Amino acid sequence: MSDKVDAYIAALDGWQADTARLLRQEIAAAGDLAEDFKWGHPIWSAGGAVCLFKSFKSHMTFAFWRGAQLTDLDPRLEPGGSFNMAAIKLTGPDQITSNEVGRLVAAAIALNREHGDPMKTARA
């Protein structure tokens, strides 16, 4: 576990703090992932970047580098950005379950195993 991620979560309040703790716990439980802190927020990787979450004033983003390939698992994933990214915008408590997090993260890890690091393959 990353001390920087600990500090990031400790700085959050209310539902965002609760959601961040849930996401972190379930991401870690979903597979063999490395936790890191890059670009101002927590990220997890397994064979390349897998997912991240980021807190904003009134919402949180839970995003996947290969998220555009996961929209069949969760239609809330909104494609956008580089590397086939897609994100779920969370605007309050209890908007994502442990099972949903685990299912999405496991599928994203499987995509990295099949296709490689999304940050490298997208540039090739």
Q: Containing domain of residue 48, as a range?
A: 3-121
pTM: 0.93
What is the mean pLDDT of each successive set of 10 residues along the chain, which is 124 residues long? 94 97 97 95 97 97 97 96 91 95 97 92 54
pLDDT of residue 124: 43
CB 50 within 8 A of CB 64: yes
pLDDT of residue 55: 98
pLDDT of residue 82: 79
Q: Give strand pairing partners of 54.
A: 61
Write the CATH number for 72: 3.90.1150.200
Domains of the chain: total: 1
